[in-house]
Structures are given as structure tokens and as C-alpha cells.
């Protein structure tokens, strides 16, 4: 038997399953701060053993919050139904477990509904107090293994109750994301700052127009590598430049260097601040916020979030700006609230990369929270490298050894009026044409220059 507080520590399909479930229940309840009378305490212990054993067989893993989810499941129309459920479930095939279950059901066969409901309330109170203690233990462990407690266990326990009270049609997505948040005791890893610094250094030689913002990111990472995990921060940056100069590309390079995911939201097209912070469960279209979701579903405390078109933030009925300001300030982001789950969590280590075509239209409070960098259009030499790298990527993915025509590649690299997004499309189109005709060389179709024509009048 391991020292884990997880259901995976129960050795299913062996004669040790019941003993393991009892040991796990004892370890959990040893952390409880809520006191119960003797009968309620015995019932709480027995019910915890029963649920733990059942879930160990059903899910092959899980933790205390899966047990709480089970206790609060909406399928239980009454307390007696939950207790009687164990008469016909998995997890009690072994002789010892089956005999123990028979005794558990016999001891509680005479309970009326009122008494059963009261006992379940006592169980919930005691198990929730265990969750709060587990949260403290997880936070202490996080400090020693380079991870951060993003979701407090007491907050997740509260969210379980909130979701269980929702209507069924709104509960599904929330329950799934909440289940993800429970992973790793609510902790998330921090990136390897030293390794990321070296990878970004290599990117400098390939993307000359991004050297300045890359250097700034490196400075933050160098400092982060020398500090305690709790101090990990990367300052938010705002990249200015024409479309297609590589602003969003920098965010993907940063995420690759850090080994984290990227999420993108268009500030101009955002439906409202609730897209980030979630909408209250009372709304017809209620859903969890993107910030909670990305931290719950990912393994990192520091994903890269791209806020695109920051110069197009609208003064809508549910504005994005106040939510963004909270996220960009480490103090308020540490207690960021998701309205759907009605809980706070730590979003202070998310890395924000904002993009805009110009400073016009960007609110001053937002500018005061970011460092601004102008991103020039890449030079022909860099553009040619990007063209060649894109072609090489297509060769790897298609497993077709198709070369790009040298002269048209050179010509495309010199056309600064064609942004990098369109360059990529042209290369893909040329590759597709070459594959269809079984050609060994892809001819790039260079569009005509879209020079502005003068309009005048004859005398």
C-alpha cells in the first residue's frame, strides 16, 4: 500500500482491495477538522470506504473530490437511494469486500429518510474539511517540487457543490472541466526557465525582427530561474506592427520554448469579459471562463495567452477591459474569480502576449500594464528562411521530396507587401499543385503588386 491519498493506491482485483480502501479512508479522515458523534463518524468512515472501493474499480483512479462528486451526484433522488445503490455495484467481488458490504447494508437497513439525509450532510461537512486540509498539504508539496497550487482544494470542493446544484443541461461541461481542475491536487507545473532562455536565444538568429521582445522575455526568465517557484512571473508584452509580421508567431515560439500551450482570444471580437471570467450559472448561455479552462485542462501554471487586436477593444455592455486589467496585475490575478464556478484561483503566472496594429484605440490603463515593442516587417533574408522552413515542414508532413523553385522563392522573399500569412498560403498552394501533377519542383505563383493607382481628371 502506497502513501498516496489517491484511489489508485487501492489494489483492485486482489484480496487486498478492502484493506487498502479502509487504510485510504483512515488517512483521509485523519485530516478532518469537522467533528462528528460516534455513530455519524462510523457511518462516515463506512460510506467513504464503500464509495472509494466502488470508484477504484469503476475509474481505476481518482481522489477525494471524485468521492465528493459521487456524494453530490444529482441522480440521488433521496439519501436512501445512495445507500441502497451499493447492493448491486462493482468493487465488492472479492469475498472479504462482499462480506463487509453485507454488514454495512445490514447496519443501515433501518434508517429512515430523514436520518439518512442528516448522516449524508454530516459526511459532506467532514469530507469537505478533509479537502481543505489536503489543500494545505498540496500547497506545501508544491513549494518543494517546482509546482504551484493554482486551484485550492477548498475552492474546488465549493465548486463541486455549485455545479451539483445546476440544471442538468448546464452541468455537463462544467463538471468535465472541474474534474480536470482536480488533477495533481489542483497544482500545475512551472516552466524550465533556464532551458527556455537557451531556446529563445536560438530563435533570435532566425527572427531578427523579434530580437528586442525576445530579449525582454529572456530577462524575465533569467530572473525567474534564480527565484523561488512562487516568484515566477513573466511581464505582459504588447507587440505593435502590421498584420503578418510575426507578432502571433512570437507567442508560439515562446510557448514552444517553455513547453506550454497557447490560447488566443480576439479582443475586438470578444463577446464580453465573461469569455475570460465565465458567466454566472443563472444565465441561459452560462459557461466556464477561458482562463479557468486553460489552467484546468493543461498541466502548466504558465500557458501563453494571446490577446489579439488590443486596439479594437470595444466599450460593450460586458466590457473585456476590466477583466483584462485584473489579469494583467499579479495582485488581482492571484485571486481571479470564475463566475460560473463562483470560486477564485491563481492566474497570476499566465504569460500574456498582446498584439495590435497601432497604439490608437488602446486604453491607457491597459498600456500602463504592458511593455510595448514595435515589430518591423522581416527583411528579405529572414523571409527567405521562413519560406524554406515552411517548405521543409511540408516535406516532413507529406513525406514528399518537393523542392521550391529558387527564382520564385527569392522573388517572394523580396515582396514585403505580401504578409507572412499569405506567404504560407502561397507555399501550401504550390506544394499541392506539385503533388497533383507529380512534379519534383513547386512553382510559386507570385501575385501582382497591389500598387495604388492614381485617379485624376483630364483637362
Distance (Å, whole) CA 421 – CA 417: 12
DSSP states of 182-236: TGGGGEEE---HHHHHHHHHHHHTT-GGGHHHHHHHHHHHHHHHTS-GGG-----
Per-residue pLDDT at 173: 67
The backbone region for 12, taken as left when phi is positive above 0, alpha when psi lies in -120 to 50, beta otherwise, is: beta
Considering the chain, what is the average pLDDT of its residues?
A: 85
pLDDT of 7 strictly over 60 = yes
Please tell me the pTM assigned to this model. 0.66
Q: Which tens digits make up the pLDDT trace of 413-430?
A: 998 888 888 898 999 999
pLDDT of 152 strictly over 50 = yes
Distance (Å, whole) CA 11 – CA 368: 56
CB 404 within 8 A of CB 430: yes
351-356 vs 237-240, strand pairing mode: parallel
| Percentage of the chain lying above the pLDDT 70 cut | 89
Tell me phi and psi for residue 280, to 5 degrees.
-60, 140
Domain-by-domain residue ranges, the chain? Answer: 7-144, 189-374, 380-442
DSSP state for residue 377 in the 8-state scheme:
P
What's the CATH superfamily of 189-374? P-loop containing nucleotide triphosphate hydrolases (3.40.50.300)
In this structure, what C-alpha cell is assigned to residue 319? 466590457
CB 305 within 8 A of CB 350: yes
Q: In which band, very low, low, confident or very high, does the pLDDT at 138 lie, cut at 50, 70 and 90? A: low
403: β partners: 441
pLDDT of 206 strictly over 90 = no
Instruction: Give the angle 128-130-131 at the CA atoms, nearest 5°.
Output: 65
Mean pLDDT along residues 205-222: 87
In this structure, what C-alpha cell is assigned to residue 152? 485550492
Q: Which tens digits make up the pLDDT trace of 263-293?
A: 988 876 655 677 889 887 667 667 889 999 9
Q: Is 152 helix (H, G, I), strand (E, B) or coil?
A: coil
In terms of pLDDT, which residue wins out, 319 or 180? 180
Distance (Å, whole) CA 251 – CA 419: 17
Least confident of 13-22, 141-150, 304-313, 371-380: 141-150
Amino acid at each position: 500500500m502506497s502513501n498516496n491519498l489517491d484511489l489508485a493506491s487501492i489494489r483492485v482485483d486482489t484480496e487486498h482491495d478492502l484493506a487498502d480502501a479502509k487504510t485510504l479512508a483512515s488517512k483521509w479522515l485523519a485530516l478532518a477538522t469537522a467533528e462528528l458523534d460516534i455513530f455519524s463518524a462510523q457511518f462516515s468512515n463506512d460510506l467513504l470506504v464503500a464509495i472509494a472501493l466502488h470508484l477504484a474499480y469503476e475509474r481505476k483512479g481518482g481522489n477525494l473530490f471524485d468521492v465528493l462528486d459521487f456524494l453530490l451526484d444529482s441522480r440521488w433522488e433521496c439519501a436512501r437511494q445512495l445507500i441502497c445503490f451499493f447492493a448491486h455495484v462493482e468493487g465488492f467481488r472479492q469475498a472479504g469486500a462482499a462480506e463487509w458490504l453485507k454488514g454495512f447494508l445490514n447496519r443501515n437497513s433501518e434508517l429512515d429518510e430523514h436520518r439518512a439525509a442528516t448522516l449524508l450532510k454530516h459526511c459532506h461537512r467532514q469530507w469537505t474539511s478533509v479537502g481543505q486540509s489536503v489543500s494545505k498539504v498540496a500547497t506545501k508539496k508544491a513549494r518543494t517540487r517546482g509546482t504551484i497550487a493554482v486551484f485550492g482544494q477548498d475552492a474546488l470542493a465549493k465548486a463541486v457543490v455549485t455545479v451539483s446544484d445546476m440544471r442538468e443541461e448546464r452541468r455537463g461541461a462544467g463538471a468535465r472541466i472541474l474534474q480536470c481542475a482536480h488533477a495533481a491536487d489542483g497544482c500545475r507545473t512551472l516552466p524550465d526557465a533556464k532551458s527556455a532562455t537557451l531556446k529563445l536565444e536560438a530563435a533570435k538568429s532566425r527572427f531578427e525582427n523579434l530580437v528586442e521582445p525576445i530579449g525582454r522575455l529572456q530577462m524575465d526568465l533569467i530572473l525567474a530561474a534564480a527565484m523561488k517557484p512562487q516568484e515566477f512571473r513573466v511581464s505582459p508584452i504588447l507587440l505593435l506592427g502590421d498584420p503578418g509580421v510575426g507578432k502571433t508567431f512570437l507567442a508560439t515560439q515562446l510557448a514552444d520554448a517553455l513547453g506550454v500551450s497557447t490560447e488566443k482570444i480576439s479582443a475586438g471580437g470578444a463577446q464580453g469579459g465573461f469569455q475570460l471570467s465565465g458567466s454566472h450559472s443563472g444565465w441561459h448561455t452560462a459557461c466556464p471562463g477561458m482562463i479557468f479552462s486553460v489552467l484546468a485542462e493543461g498541466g502548466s501554471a504558465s500557458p501563453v495567452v494571446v490577446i489579439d487586436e488590443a486596439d479594437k477593444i470595444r466599450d460593450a455592455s460586458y466590457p473585456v477591459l476590466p477583466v483584462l486589467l485584473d489579469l494583467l496585475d499579479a495582485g488581482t490575478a492571484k485571486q481571479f474569480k470564475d463566475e460560473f464556478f463562483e470560486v477564485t484561483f491563481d492566474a497570476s503566472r499566465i504569460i500574456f502576449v498582446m498584439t495590435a496594429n497601432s497604439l490608437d484605440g488602446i486604453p491607457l490603463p491597459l498600456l500602463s500594464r504592458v511593455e510595448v515593442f514595435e515589430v518591423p516587417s522581416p527583411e528579405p533574408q529572414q523571409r527567405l528562411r521562413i519560406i524554406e522552413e515552411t517548405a521543409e515542414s511540408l516535406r516532413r508532413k507529406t513525406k514528399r521530396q518537393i523542392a521550391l523553385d529558387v527564382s520564385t522563392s527569392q522573388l517572394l522573399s523580396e515582396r514585403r507587401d505580401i504578409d507572412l500569412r499569405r506567404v504560407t498560403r502561397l507555399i501550401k498552394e504550390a506544394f499541392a499543385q506539385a503533388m497533383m501533377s507529380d512534379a519534383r519542383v513547386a512553382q510559386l505563383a507570385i501575385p501582382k503588386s497591389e500598387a495604388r493607382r492614381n485617379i485624376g481628371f483630364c483637362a
